[in-house]
Amino acid sequence: MAAGTSICVTGSKGFIGKNLCQVLSSISQLCVCPLDHDSSSEVIAEALSGARVIIHLAGINRPTDPKGFQANAELMRTICAVLQEARAKPLVVFASSTQAALDNPYGDSKRAAEELLKEWVDQSGGSAVVLRLPNVFGKWARPEYNSAVATFCYNIARGLPIRIDDPSRSLDLLYIDDLVQRLTEICLKPDIIRGFSFQEAAPSYNTTVGFLAETIRAFPDLRSTLTLPDFGDPLVKALYSTYLSYLPTDRFAYQLVRREDPRGALAEFLRTKEAGQIFVSRTRPGITRGNHFHHSKVEKFLVLEGTALIRFRHVATSETASYTVDGKDFKVVDIPPGYTHSIENQGKSDLVTLFWANEPFDPARPDTIPCEVINDEA
């Protein structure tokens, strides 16, 4: 095998395996050996016996016959037999299930696999970690197979109906990137683990089917409202990333509402309740925008293309200031409250500017008071 810590991943073509192998393969000190159902027995035996860490993800979770679950214990029995014969003592990390604590065919098979792994540790002096995983969700999960989240995201992204039998049904969820991070940490420091142990694959989220459906159903409308989800909630943040991963490739792009007048064009880009509003404008040569002030609202101007003169005048003291900014400089200009301000295109082509305000525009309380910056009476 190539130099570096060798990591053997079973079930590498599955949902978790694909995500994990993508990350592990990018780490130079790790040498990843992916295994799947189409790997030959010779390749499997060589990879297992030569690995420093084995991440065992392969398993059966949706057989046509409940007896098919027995394959989960048999897979573990095969792994332990190969290691015993080779007298190899890698760290084995087993992706079990929270179902192992329950009395059902799937849980029984996972629990039997855990017991076989412990027997190997006791007999060989090797090391093993069991992660009892809840429902794992994220990009690349199969709709109608891996998780309800995958099914909801896939269908809602395509305008298809979703089925909900019990909205109050409780679910424990684990985001794929959090799981991959935990597995990667283990692979990078395998020597700190000794013996047999159960470990948490945190953080996990307890929620309901109804909350999932309501949250994901709201995502398509965010393009028209331009409102971002509540990224302060880590579950919502992960669900939104997952939803976008299921968009059809011909639906990545969407059009903003463009408002145009003789001065140029303006379009709102994003808004949030907590972090305000972002919009972009094109201003024609010689045109001035603004000439107003705010009592509480604050803004930031970033010229992206062209040259602009930004003027200020304090509405109480008449103190003035001005800044010439060029799109090549990426210079941000803060707009404090109490200063009437304007931005003038001093170039020969359109001025493109990105604006941020700390609160979305509210017609009922605009906090935008017209006031010329150049006071002819001063």
Q: Hey, which residues are catalytic here?
A: 106
Which amino acid makes up residue 276? G
Alpha-carbon span 47 to 145, nearest angstrom: 29
User: DSSP code of 61?
Assistant: S
For 185, phi then psi, to 5°, come to -60, -40
* Tokens describing residue 355: 């604006």
Alpha-carbon span 300 to 355, nearest angstrom: 6
Specify whether the CB–CB gap between 174 and 201 falls below 8 A: yes
For 343, phi then psi, to 5°, come to -135, 125
For 207, phi then psi, to 5°, come to -150, -170
CA-nearest of 277, 284, 335 to 305 is 284
* Tokens describing residue 89: 């003592």
